[in-house]
Amino acid sequence: MLRLVELFNEEVIIVSIYSEEQILQMKEDDFSYHLHPTSSIPDMEAWGGPRIISEGEGVRVKSVEGKTYIDCGAGLWLNNVGTGRKEIVEAASKQMEKLHYFQSFNGYTHPLAIEVAKKFAKMVPVENARIFFTSGGSESNDSAYKLARLYFNLTGRPEKNQIICRTKAYHGVAYGATSATSLPGFWDGFRPLVPGFHHTDHPHCYFCAWGKEEGSCDYECAKAVEEKILEIGPEKVAGFSAEPVIGTGGAIVPPNGYYPRVREICNKYDVLLIADEVICGFGRTGKNFGIENWGVKPDLMMLAKGITSGYIPMGAVALTGKIYEPIKKHGIFMHGYTYTGHPVACAAALANLEIVEKENLVENARIKGEILRQKVRALDLPCIGEVRGIGMINGVQLVKNRETREKFAPSVGFAKRVSFLGWENGLILRPLIDDALQLSPSLIISETEIDELVEKLETSIKQAWEEYLANDEKTL
């Protein structure tokens, strides 16, 4: 991997231990043997192969060619404490030597699973919480939907089994999670989906589906949840599932009154409120959990990503005591995963959360996130329509016309082009739906690093905009 960067006449000379031949062979082997998740094969072919990352430190990663990048997405929203944290590596290594694995089935457990369950149960805004462990977000989502249906089944209402989700939702790619997700492409070719999932419009004040402006509406976005419940029949609806802040669908923050109103609606019709905190949890929104920004308590909560900052896969579901009690009376929960409560994952989780607490990263996310948004807004570029976010979940909405909020034609691929130029300029950017850009770096980011990020982002957007105008506003 890359070990040496030299400074010569104030120019950075990048030294890679990989030869050009080795890099070309890696890219050729990748094409020959590797099927990438959610990746455009034509794009990789156009790039001359995948972008190969070999190491990282803090908020930065390095490619095999020797170039350093600020990772604006913290991997996939998850690397809260940054790369290269020896505390987590050492904790995982010690646990691997002591007990690398044991099952949680058949009444077995181990000390760290108990410790992590206790810690999570005391952290989450879920009443009398019990914790069920998974290996990641998709498994957490599938487990939560099964728990919602099981609860009503065990309490004598088996017909109450329908799940309502939202447009632009991303809940994962297991089959139940795929059915809950509602983003272009995730259903294509995979039907039939799991029955019993429905979708209602999501809240987004900038592109309001009801043509309203924030502050002069009656929360039609929340009323849409009630309308969907009534359309299906309250006696049939088990749960309403939502990301507190929509992530992959565009880093969309709801208006302040949305979740309190939704909680009231769920209470009214005896519908479980299911909070998908896979992206939002463990400090990313400037609170321990995203839903806490609106003072609302869910009945079920899905967790993953920030649990370990991605150092090892892990997920969880928090359920209320109300949901747990009928399962206890029933005597067994017939569901589980091989790696549920994995000892090494538990060790990594505890070390990771110790860093979050010790370095006050929840507060850093709140403060630095606002600084990041202010600095991007100050760029005042003609194609930046909205800079939205909360904590360190942020989206930069790129539009053709800022005054009218007119979107680019999908064929233009504007955000995609910005992300490509960002790579050339030293940023790893991810385009989201409708030409938004994801800005969700690690929670450890400093203001100096934010300044560098914003400068390179400005350069990349300006380059794409100039290309767009020079190309007569056609495909980039």
Residue 191, CA atoms < 13 Å, CB-side half-sphere: 3
Judge whether residue 445 has pLDDT over 60: yes
pLDDT value, residue 14: 54
292-326 in b/e form (b: 16+ CB < 10 A) is bbbebebbbbbbbbbbbbbbbbbbbbbbbeebbee
pLDDT value, residue 120: 98
**What is the arithmetic mean of pLDDT over 129-153?**
98
**What is the arithmetic mean of pLDDT over 140-145?**
98
pLDDT value, residue 160: 98
| Mean pLDDT for all residues in the chain | 95
Prediction pTM value:
0.95
What would the pLDDT profile of 152-204 be if each residue is shown by its tens digit?
A: 999 999 999 999 999 999 999 999 999 999 999 999 999 999 999 999 999 99
Helices (H), 218-342: 220-232, 258-268, 321-330
**What is the arithmetic mean of pLDDT over 435-461?**
98
Judge whether residue 245 has pLDDT over 90: yes
Judge whether residue 15 has pLDDT over 70: no
Report residue 437 CA to chain centroid gap: 13
Helices (H), 83-165: 86-98, 111-123, 137-154
Domains of the chain: 4-81+360-470 (3.90.1150.10), 86-358 (3.40.640.10)
273: confidence class by pLDDT, cuts 50, 70, 90:
very high
pLDDT value, residue 12: 46
73 against 9, higher pLDDT: 73
What would the pLDDT profile of 278-306 be if each residue is shown by its tens digit?
A: 999 999 999 999 999 999 999 999 999 99
Judge whether residue 13 has pLDDT over 90: no
